[in-house]
Structure 1
Amino acid sequence: MTTDRHGHTMSATGPEALLHYEQALDDLLFFRPRVVESSRSVLAAAPHSAMGQTLAAYLGVLGTEEKDAAAARDSFGRFRSGLDTERLSPRERMHLAAATAWLDGDLHGAGRILGDLTVAFPRDALALFVGHQHDFLTGDAERLRDRVGGALDAWDADDPHHGPLLGMYAFGLEESGHYERAEESGLAALAQHPDDVWGIHGVVHSYEMRGRFTDGIRFLDARTDDWASGTLLTVHNWWHYALYTLETGDTTRVLRIYDDALHHDGSAGAAMELLDAAALLWRLYLAQEQHGERWARLADAWERREDGPYYAFNDAHAVMAYVGADRIARAQRLVQDREHWVATRPPVSNHAMTADIGLPVCRALIAYGQHDYGLATDLLLPLRHRLHLFGGSHAQRDAIQRTLVEASLRAGRTDLARNLLSERIQLRPVCPYNWSAKARLEEQLGRSERAAAARERAAAQAMAS
């Protein structure tokens, strides 16, 4: 019977299909666009391969694309129809169960099965990768760290997949607050594979959370050939570059990055890329910068997708685009559609993510766009410690946290704004945005000397970056 490189049984998978499967797994771990083609090659050589079919199913859900997930659900359902699962290995049956749960909308059930898989088969790189991405999409920082950390002891350092695991671990460490350890793990991953874009991503996040903007820009500049084009993470890593640049105050360069890399006529329109574009423009919107043409093109791209209620985190970024483009009615229609769905459809994981977090966030963004800053504050304040429940990273969700800060300032709720800014400054003392917002608060309070000191600190930090 065929086994993969780590000794796992591959039912109905011959030698040719196995070669394609191993290539597809490598492509997946390193975020190469050809992973889709590699996956198709597995099934062309072995249509009844359980792991080949499962890999294809996972690819259908990892991009948070509703249409891809629907197509994967249909295809996987046909494969499972009449399948004698008793002929499969226990590991393969667990993968089938995890993929089925995810395709049926039970993200959290899929995550639990993938966790059990990793305990039983810690050298299953596919289970680790998919589980890691699941934890990112559901905002589960501790599992993002411990799912990989719990398996690493079973891996030899010279295994070709050990490096990507360290890159995953770096991101989990960062999201759970272990920034120095995250940097260390990410750099160790890159020592094994310099083109590990997820490892690069983990290091970049660790710099972001510590306000090390200069280090981040230098780090990315030194590795441009490894990340800046041709990967499934290219746009997202350019987004990180733009965040660093934004803190330096170089808005011209930020917009050049946006136009060249984040959203332009040749952009694919993938949800994960559009949300990066929306999150960057929204930060500029909060700074009262107007970019009407960019917002209009981005809102058009979101409208063309015609997304249903599939992933609440995407919905919030679509609403950012509609509000930024002054298409309030369109944003309100999205909210109404999701409200109807929550009220009438059986619950799946995205049901709670939408009802509890997504809808209040969307309503707050609309209120902000309508200059009802008090309502925006009231909607966001109860969510600020629960935002992770609808997915994303700390860096991504900071666009919403900043919206709360800005809404409280504009609503004249100075006690709240003082509290929020104190929290932010204690966590990230090196952050020009935090100090510039602090300066505006002090101006509202009539404390000109403190305002001037905060402005000087923001400017000094930006200059140092």
Structure 2
Amino acid sequence: MAHFDNHGLSLSTASDVAAAHYRDGVALMLAAWPGAGEDLDAAIAADPDSALAHAARARLHAMHAQLVEARARIAVAQEKVTAAHSEREASHVDVLALAVNGKSQEALKAALAHADRWPRDTLILSLPIGAFGLFAFSGMVEHNQAKVDLCERHAAHFADDDWWFLTYRGWSLAENGEVARGRAMLERAIELRRQNANCAHALAHAMFEAGANHEAEALIAGWLPEYDRSGILHGHIAWHAALAALAALERGDADTALAIYDGTVRHSVSLGTPINIVSDAASLLWRLQAYGHAVPEGLWEDAADYARRVFPKPGHAFVDPHMALLEAATGDRAALGRRLTALDELVAKGAIGAGAIVPAIGRAALAFAEGDYAGCVHILEPMTVDFARIGGSNAQREVIEDTLLVALMRAGEVQKARALLDRRLHRRPSPRDTRWLTGLAA
């Protein structure tokens, strides 16, 4: 009996049980829903020679930042590929091996080539897209447009009711400025499969882009209780609710944001991945302080201690700016100095695709924390086009633009601050930006 995956691509297994568990495990993984590991383990138990099941398990380990396990498992997958496997399956394993082993540029090139031949191979098509995908971490400025282009190129291969493709096409569109169109796709996707954390997350992003903070809070409040805390995105989706709270009321609801942080986002309670825990903590606490709210005693140090443990070495274009925020906020000039020296060397070697913007953000953060707002502006203002190079989402990177904006206001650069606020308000409505613009006009 022939077996197929969720999108009709053949699977080289003789086991009905293995095929069923593989389909379920991949669907759960693509939805960021708990249980994927158990299904993929069951697929491997039913057919230990299933190369794709081993490869999918490796990908899941990598998503959970379990790199030792991921690399061991993808090596097994490569060993299991035989002449009995199709060309598509062999390529599938090869692409995942590049990604799991950290060969990002090669993985991106291979994933795009694979998708051109087998566009319905969703596990491979998923690699370039998303806030932490291969496009986002490629160092390119226009990675939002690249994600849209990829989705549009292959849209004809997916049905109008494909919950996974609607999720990532909608999110890509919303991040790239087509907010209403993208949001409509996301709302359709979550109707089709409510147990889809990637879609709830993407919909929170679309609402952020629309300035719909109250809707984002309502969405998360109504949906998050259905998502087990073990879900990889649980703490990060709660972070979106904290961002929405900061945009509320006259000056922002800092108490609600801090309560969310304390109960769901901080490392001692979150079961998310280190990259999300560190970036969410650094950017939320930095925003609180920049917006004029007090950060309770000990929170900065607690976040910084955790961050040092999980990211002991510099070299990641998205992580290092957030580490720099923590080091600047805690006044650890020595640690930040060592980081900047190392980053300068890596940039000079071409080892960081994002380039000079990464250490520049660290220097700007230090200037801002020490009250040198003119110095912060001097560093960041000429590099605004490069902010996107560090990867992540618009919502995550906004902390850098906020730092520049607040620095402009505190440095007395009223005209420049108003121009930046005008551009932001043209892009999306924001009660906070409106308040700031009104204050500058006064």
CA RMSD of aligned residues (A): 2.7
CA contact (8 A) 1:170 1:182 kept: yes
TM-score of the superposed pair, with normalisation by structure 1? 0.83
Structure 1 residue 272 corresponds to structure 2 residue 269: no
Partner of 1:143: 146
TM-score of the superposed pair, with normalisation by structure 2? 0.87
Aligned identity (percent) is 25
Compute the displacement of 1:296 (Å).
Answer: 1.2
Q: Which of 83, 86, 90 does residue 89 from structure 1 map onto? A: 86
How many equivalent pairs are there? 430
**CA–CA distance in 2 between the matches of 1:70 and 1:322?**
28
CA contact (8 A) 1:299 1:321 kept: yes
Compute the displacement of 1:256 (Å).
Answer: 0.7
Q: Which of 74, 89, 96 does residue 99 from structure 1 map onto? A: 96
Cα deviation code 1:66-98 (max 9, x no counterpart) = xx33543354346546x7665532212322332
**CA–CA distance in 2 between the matches of 1:99 and 1:399?**
32
User: Which consecutive residues of structure 1, in runs of 5 or more, have no partner in the other structure?
Assistant: 443-449, 452-465
Partner of 1:438: 437
Taking the TM superposition and a 5 Å limit, the aligned residue runs for 1:302-381 are: 302-343=307-348, 347=350, 351-353=352-354, 355-381=355-381
Secondary structure at 2:298's aligned position in 1?
helix
Partner of 1:205: 205
CA contact (8 A) 2:22 2:40 kept: yes
**CA–CA distance in 1 between the matches of 2:89 and 2:228?**
36
Q: Which amino acid aligns with 2:277?
A: E
Cα deviation code 1:15-51 (max 9, x no counterpart) = 3332321121021122123323433343344444321
**CA–CA distance in 2 between the matches of 1:228 and 1:4?**
26
CA contact (8 A) 2:51 2:81 kept: no
Q: Which amino acid aligns with 1:203?
A: L
Cα deviation code 1:429-458 (max 9, x no counterpart) = x31221333345x3xxxxxxx32xxxxxxx
Cα deviation code 1:137-184 (max 9, x no counterpart) = 4472123223334333223356xxx11221222111101111111121
Partner of 1:76: 74
**CA–CA distance in 1 between the matches of 2:213 and 2:311?**
37
CA contact (8 A) 1:146 1:172 kept: no
Compute the displacement of 1:245 (Å).
Answer: 0.9
Partner of 1:391: 391
**CA–CA distance in 2 between the matches of 1:298 and 1:2?**
48
Q: Which amino acid aligns with 2:107?
A: A
Partner of 2:37: 36
Taking the TM superposition and a 5 Å limit, the aligned residue runs for 1:160-179 are: 162-179=162-179
Deviates more, 1:13-22 or 1:237-246: 13-22
**CA–CA distance in 2 between the matches of 1:40 and 1:361?**
42
**CA–CA distance in 1 between the matches of 2:115 and 2:436?**
44
Secondary structure at 1:73's aligned position in 2?
helix
Secondary structure at 2:7's aligned position in 1?
coil
Q: Which amino acid aligns with 1:236?
A: H
Would the alpha carbon gap of residues 210 and 3 (structure 1) be closer, same or farther in structure 2, given more than 3 Å must change?
closer
Cα deviation code 1:231-254 (max 9, x no counterpart) = 222112111111111111211111
Structure 1 residue 120 corresponds to structure 2 residue 117: yes
Deviates more, 1:360-369 or 1:86-95: 86-95
Would the alpha carbon gap of residues 86 and 380 (structure 1) be closer, same or farther in structure 2, given more than 3 Å must change?
farther
**CA–CA distance in 2 between the matches of 1:233 and 1:202?**
11
CA contact (8 A) 2:229 2:270 kept: no
Secondary structure at 2:353's aligned position in 1?
helix
Q: Which runs of 4+ in 1 moved over 6 A?
A: none
Would the alpha carbon gap of residues 230 and 105 (structure 1) be closer, same or farther in structure 2, given more than 3 Å must change?
closer
**CA–CA distance in 1 between the matches of 2:286 and 2:155?**
38
**CA–CA distance in 1 between the matches of 2:211 and 2:159?**
34
CA contact (8 A) 2:357 2:383 kept: yes
Partner of 2:54: 53
Compute the displacement of 1:12 (Å).
Answer: 5.7
Partner of 1:187: 187
CA contact (8 A) 2:96 2:107 kept: yes
**CA–CA distance in 1 between the matches of 2:76 and 2:51?**
12
**CA–CA distance in 2 between the matches of 1:325 and 1:207?**
32
Compute the displacement of 1:52 (Å).
Answer: 2.1
Secondary structure at 2:129's aligned position in 1?
helix
Would the alpha carbon gap of residues 119 and 306 (structure 1) be closer, same or farther in structure 2, given more than 3 Å must change?
closer
Would the alpha carbon gap of residues 184 and 265 (structure 1) be closer, same or farther in structure 2, given more than 3 Å must change?
same
Compute the displacement of 1:131 (Å).
Answer: 3.1
CA contact (8 A) 1:118 1:147 kept: no
**CA–CA distance in 2 between the matches of 1:186 and 1:78?**
36
Secondary structure at 1:27's aligned position in 2?
helix
Would the alpha carbon gap of residues 210 and 253 (structure 1) be closer, same or farther in structure 2, given more than 3 Å must change?
same
Compute the displacement of 1:393 (Å).
Answer: 0.9
